[in-house]
Structure 1
Amino acid sequence: MKRLHIHLSVDNLEKNISFYSTLFGCEPTVKHDDYAKWMLDDPRVNFAISNRSQQLGLDHLGLQAENEQELAAIKQQLDATQAPVEAQQDAACCYARSDKYWITDPQGIAWESFHSLSEIPTFNDAKAVSDGENPFACRPAEKSTSSCCPSPTPENTDSSCCG
């Protein structure tokens, strides 16, 4: 069964962790200095917050698949919209390695569809960044409206984003 994914950019992570923990009636499933995530079953949602962006509010929405078959079915639905879809295989982001598809809705909101393969100890793949590979493996840089994932420049190559 798929899970709705919502990611918000917040200014004060601890204050927001306290607020959402009270709202959801539980502590985050994942918690880091810059990121927290609740994997809720009622409602069935993957709700994440981070303080890695200068732009506050909705960062992106998404659908989390439980397996490769669900992700393939979601990909067929994305293709049916006739909007451009960007694939990211084995992307390292938000303390997880995932296969992903990104699409932008008519309002310009980024939608991430993904299947998480494993947890990783870092927010993104630091090795890819140091090797000069795409440090924005989370969200397509050219579609980003968030300062979390701006187009790569020498000044922001240490930036990262999440899913």
Structure 2
Amino acid sequence: MNRFHVHLNVADLAGSIRFYTQLFAAEPSVVKHDYAKWMLEDPRVNFAISSTGRAPGIDHLGLQVDSADELAALGPRLDAAGGTVVPEDATICCYARSDKLWTEDPQGTRWESFHTVGEATTYYAADAACATDGAACTPDVREMKPKIDKGAACCAPQSACC
């Protein structure tokens, strides 16, 4: 089953954690010095906030899936939607290890489709070989180039870059 994902940049992490804890009537499932996340069941959403120096507001939206097969199945849907789809495999982002597909909608809103495979000890792992902006692990799709196809379908997870 897919889970909707919302990631907000916030100026006041502690105040935002208090606000969203009350709004959702639930404590965050992850709290770090620059990040918090709620994995809610009603509504089924992965809601994350961070204070990593980016402008406050919506950083990106997305879909979190439960398996690599579900992520691969999203690839053709993202292609059909018309944006450039950029795979990002074995990435470290938001204290998690994930495989991702990135795109933008016609308004420039970034969309992250991802399958989380484990936890990480850092917010992001900056690596020149990866397609990340280094500031907060979400890529600038306009500046990214799709990975070279190594025999896999265009949007299926490919070899790890990190």
TM-score by length of 1: 0.80
Does residue 95 of structure 2 align to residue 92 of structure 1?
A: no
> Residue 86 of structure 1 contacts residue 140 of structure 1 at CA under 8 Å; is this kept in 2?
no
**Residue 155 (structure 1) aligns with:** none
- Aligned residue for 1:107, secondary structure, equals coil
Compare 49-58 and 109-118 and name the one that shifted more: 49-58
**Residue 154 (structure 1) aligns with:** none
Q: 5 Å matches for 1:38-117? A: 38-117=38-117
Q: Distance in 2 between matches of 1:142 and 1:63?
A: 17
- Aligned residue for 2:70, secondary structure, equals helix
Deviation at 1:142, TM superposition (A): 5.1
Structure 2 residue identity aligned to 1:136: D
Structure 2 residue identity aligned to 1:141: D
* Selected match of 1:136 from 119, 133, 136: 133
> Residue 38 of structure 2 contacts residue 47 of structure 2 at CA under 8 Å; is this kept in 1?
yes
TM-score by length of 2: 0.81
Superposition RMSD in Å:
1.6
Q: Distance in 2 between matches of 1:121 and 1:112?
A: 21
Deviation at 1:41, TM superposition (A): 0.5
> Residue 110 of structure 2 contacts residue 141 of structure 2 at CA under 8 Å; is this kept in 1?
no
Structure 2 residue identity aligned to 1:64: Q
Structure 2 residue identity aligned to 1:140: P
Q: Distance in 1 between matches of 2:92 and 2:133?
A: 9
Cα distance 1:16–1:109, how it changes in 2: closer, same or farther (>3 A)?
Answer: same
* Misfit runs of 4+, over 2 Å: 132-144
Deviation at 1:141, TM superposition (A): 3.3
Q: Distance in 1 between matches of 2:141 and 2:62?
A: 18
Q: How many pairs are equivalent?
A: 140
**Structure 2 unpaired stretches of 5+:** 144-162
Q: Distance in 2 between matches of 1:98 and 1:114?
A: 6
- Aligned residue for 1:102, secondary structure, equals strand
